[in-house]
Every structure is written in structure tokens, then in C-alpha cells.
A and B are shown apart, each in its own frame.
Chain A
Amino acid sequence: MLHELMTRLADTFDPGTIEAVKGPVSLYGGLILGLIFGVVLQKGKICKYDVVSGLFRLQDFTVFRLGVPLLIVSMVLIYFLKGMGIMELHIPKTVIVPQIIGGLMFGSAIAILGYCPGTAAGALGEGSLDAIPSVLGMIVGAVIYAEFFHVDWSNTFLTWGTLSRGSFAEILRINPWYLIVLFILMATMFLMMVTMFDWFLIFLKKTLNRFHDLTDTLDEKRPTAPENISEDTKAISASTRNTVSKLKKNLNDIFKSPSK
């Protein structure tokens, strides 16, 4: 029994995959890229539940701040290097209806999980043990789809809205660089909007402390105020003075010294 399992396991390994470093099947290439990818994910702090869930709660925009430069820089570099003739594009095919449905389902899963498939692996390396059931769940989900649904669905809605041509540049028949410039402008505007919204949230939170009142629930009790303050100062500081001083301090924090 064990011997049979070992032979099956040996069957799954193809010696042709460890011959070269370059090329789409090389295991060495995957390992090298994975090492770099893991370091970047961990240092960017996007394989944490708190950060990704904060994005979908509209309160923590680390993912946007990381994602916009990522998209801009890699788009420019890839089209530049393609123009130089160094590399080719590998455009994923577009099928509109299943991608909308799949995106909605994927989004609802990511809101609960807090990890996308790549960052689940990164979170596992970082010590989040709850990435283990998520990885197992992803494998089980893929098996369920393959065993029970693929044949039934492959001729119905999985083909609705298939586009024959690849990228927007080919669909609109224009030079891709116009679209790239447009994308850069829009993405920069978006990033500025997000940053302003973030400042607004910091400002609200620090001045009014509304957020803390809602969040001080379970084990995160804040320390109570010291009691050896005279009655007068209590009466004054409770209302206006406190708020004004906080407001000044926060304006300082936000606009004068962005780095801590």
C-alpha cells in the first residue's frame, strides 16, 4: 500500500522540469521567483488579515498605496520591454459573465478570509496558523469545481461574453501608450483621492475618538483617566479645550510631519 503510494508520488514528478532555470516549466525559476515574491509580500505587510480586511472595511489603504505603483510601474516596464523585443505578452483571455460572477464570489470570500491565494502562502510563512484551513479550503474548492460542475457548466454560462481579441489596445485598434498614459493619470488621481480620504479618517478618529468608543469591546480596554485632577480642570477640559488642542495637534500631525 505504502509502496504503491510512493510510486504514484514519484509519477507526479517530471525530471524534465529541473533541467534549466529559464522557461515556463522550470521548478528552479518558480522557487527563485517565489522567494522574492514572499519577501516582497511580507515586507509590504499585505499578508496580514488586519490590513486586507481593513481595506474592505474602507479604513486601511495600504493595499491601494502598494497596488497603484505596482500596476503603473509594471505596465510601463512590460510594454517598454515588449517594444524593445525582449519579452512577449501573455494576456489572460476575457470571458465577461463568469469573470463578473467569479469576482463577486472571490471578493466575498476575501472579505471573510483576509487572504488572497498568494498572501495565504505568505501568511503561513509569517506564522498565521489560520492560513492552513484556508489553503485546504482552496484545494477542496478547486476539486469540487472540477469533479461536479465543470462539465455541466462549460457549455452554458462559462462561455457567455467571450472576447476574441486580447487587450484593450487590440480591441480599440490604437497605440497602447495612449491607454497607458490615461491609466497613469486616472490611477494617480485615484491614489490622491484615497490619501485624502485616509487623512480625513485619521482626523476624525483622533479628534472625536468615535472609532475607539465603538471598538473598545473585548480585551482591548483602554486605561481610565487618572483621578487626581481638581474639579475645575475636569469641568473645563471635558468640553471644548480638549477638542481644540487635539484638533491643532492633529492638523500638525497630518500636514507638517507625515513621517513618524
Chain B
Amino acid sequence: MPSTEFKEKYKISTIITWVVVIIAGAGLSFYLKNFLPVVVAISIVLMINPKWWTIIIMGFLYTAYLHSGWPLLASIVFSVVGKPKRWWPIPAGIAFALTEVFSFYLSERPIGITRGYTVMGSIATYLISPEHVNNVEYWGIYEPKVDWTIALILGTILGSFLSSKYSGEFKLFAVPQLWKQSKGPSVTKRWIYVFLAGIVMGFAARIAGGCVSGLLISGVIQLAPSGFIFMMSLWIGGVITSFLFYRTRTLAVKRESD
């Protein structure tokens, strides 16, 4: 018999939902004669509310599925290292550097995100009209194929979700705190500004040929002039716009150390 604590913690309806998801995955994998759907279903169930043991179970699962020890090792490391709410900036920077170097080693290219958004735009154009894609010269460079960068974006979203869920940082909100202090709590205003600034950002990234990760970081670490030029102009543009845009509300600090 399950104890009352267990009943309070895991309600019967949630357990039924989990079982239904796993059975659906099992049925799909039986239909396709492929283990991938059931593995994905089990990992969704385990990752909705991650604890250290669910992460290690998932490591075992992927180790068994892929016949490789790396997932188990990664899950053990993550279950230890991912628990604190934040890493202090210098260790986090060193971890970032190791990721960058690992990208050079594993995928033989620097981490670059903006290319993924451009390819998404290309795919959207292709879905609307395939003939039009051939007429535009730029889509010859960015072909409408799902590529490495889209997988990178998907992985970034998943990794951030997993990490924030595990350490209890996950919180849904539509307007950030500092924006509320400096521009007011209106959701519509924030979202319109964000959309317009996003258009400018995508456009500028295409002019310059990269974004912060693809041009600035990968340029500077290889001593390319492009990275330094982009860094300086980004910094100048950002500070000037910040002071013009927020005006007297620029001094709106809410530090974590308080």
C-alpha cells in the first residue's frame, strides 16, 4: 500500500498521465519497429520533474539504448554539478570555454546560433512556396535543410529547461523585473519592443555575418580582426542605446548580492 505522503506528492491522475504517455510511446515504437519513441516518452516523463535519481535512470536508459557509456557519465556529472542555482562567473566561463573547444573538436566548427534562425526563415519560405526559394540568391547559401545549428538551438532550449528545472529556478514570466522598473509592467509594450528589436537583431546579424557566439567569441578566440571589431562596435552601440532608451531609469539596479 502506498503511504499518504506518497499519495500527496504524486496524485493518481498524474501517474495515469505518465503511464498513458509511456504506453503511447511503446505502441508507436512497436508500430515503427524502432525503440526511439518509447525512449523519448520515458525521458519526457522523467524530465518533467527532475531529481538526481531520475537523471541517473535516464543516463542508464540512454546507455542501454545507444550502447555507449558516455550518457551515464554525463548524467552522473550533471546530477552532481547541476544542483546549485548558479555557478560563479569564472567557473562558468571556463565551462563555456571547454564547450567551445569541444565544439571545435567534435563538430569541427565554432558554436554559432544565428545561422539556425536564418535557416528557419529559409525553411518557412520553402514551406510557403518552393519555387520562390530558387529565385532568391541568398537562400542558395542557406539551403532549406534542417542542419546542425537548428539541432543546436533545440539542444540549448532543452538543456536550459533541464538545468533550471533541476535547480528549481524555472519560472514562467512575460515581463522581466528590471524592465518593469524602467518601462512599466505592460506586457504588450514589452512584446512589441522585443519583436521590433528582434527584427533589427536578425538583420544586423546578417549584415555582419554572425552573432555573439558565431562572430564575436569564435573570432576573438582565434585572433581574427572581425571579432574585435564586432565586439567594440557592439559595446558602443549597446551602451549609447541603453542610455538613450532608458534615460533616467537607466540607474535601476537590483543586485543579487543584496
Q: Which residues of A are at the interface with B, using a C-beta cutoff of 8 A?
A: 5, 8-9, 11-14, 17, 21-45, 47-50, 53-60, 62, 65-75, 77-78, 81, 86-96, 98-114, 116-118, 121-130, 133-147, 150-151, 154, 158, 163, 166-169, 171, 176, 179-180, 183, 201-202, 205, 211, 214-215, 217-220, 260
Contact = CB atoms under 8 A, between A and B. Distances in A.
Nearest to B225: A94
Interface in B72-106: 78, 82, 84, 86-87, 89-90, 92-106
A139 B90 contact: no
A166 B130 CA distance: 36
Given A92-B219, A99-B209, A135 B198 contact: yes
B19 interface: no
Interface-central residue, B167, B190, B193, B199, by most chain A CB under 10 Å: B199
Given A35-B159, A65-B93, A108-B237, A70 B217 contact: yes
B237 A34 contact: no
A103 B229 contact: yes
Given A125-B164, A130-B191, A99 B257 contact: no
A59 B251 CA distance: 8
A141 B251 contact: no
A28 B146 CA distance: 12
Interface of B: 78, 82, 84, 86-87, 89-90, 92-111, 113-114, 117-118, 120-127, 130, 136-139, 142, 144-164, 167, 169-181, 184-185, 190-191, 193-215, 217-227, 229-243, 245-246, 248-255, 257
30 contacts: A24-B107, A24-B148, A27-B148, A34-B154, A37-B155, A37-B159, A38-B155, A38-B156, A44-B89, A53-B178, A89-B222, A92-B215, A92-B222, A98-B208, A99-B208, A108-B197, A108-B238, A116-B201, A121-B156, A122-B156, A122-B157, A129-B173, A133-B191, A134-B201, A142-B205, A166-B222, A166-B224, A183-B223, A217-B249, A220-B254
Given A69-B90, A214-B248, A30 B107 contact: yes
B229 A32 contact: no
Given A39-B159, A117-B211, A67 B176 contact: no
A137 B118 CA distance: 11
Given A70-B217, A135-B198, A34 B238 contact: no
A211 B252 CA distance: 7
Nearest to A77: B101
Contact of A17 (B146, B170, B197, B207): B146
A104 B200 CA distance: 11
A169 to B, nearest CB: 6
A66 B207 CA distance: 27
B47 to A, nearest CB: 12
B157 A124 contact: yes
Given A30-B148, A219-B180, A93 B209 contact: yes
Contacts of A125: 156-162, 164
A52 to B, nearest CB: 9
Contact of A137 (B144, B197, B235, B243): B197
Specify which of B105, B107, B111, B144 lies most central, judged by the most chain A CB atoms within 10 Å of its CB: B107
Contact of B171 (A105, A127, A205): A127
Contacts of B84: 43
Contact of A109 (B145, B184, B191, B198): B198
Contacts of A24: 107-109, 148
Contacts of A67: 93
B250 A42 contact: no
- Lowest 9 A-B CB distances belong to which pairs? A34-B155, A137-B198, A38-B159, A141-B202, A107-B237, A102-B208, A103-B233, A125-B160, A30-B151
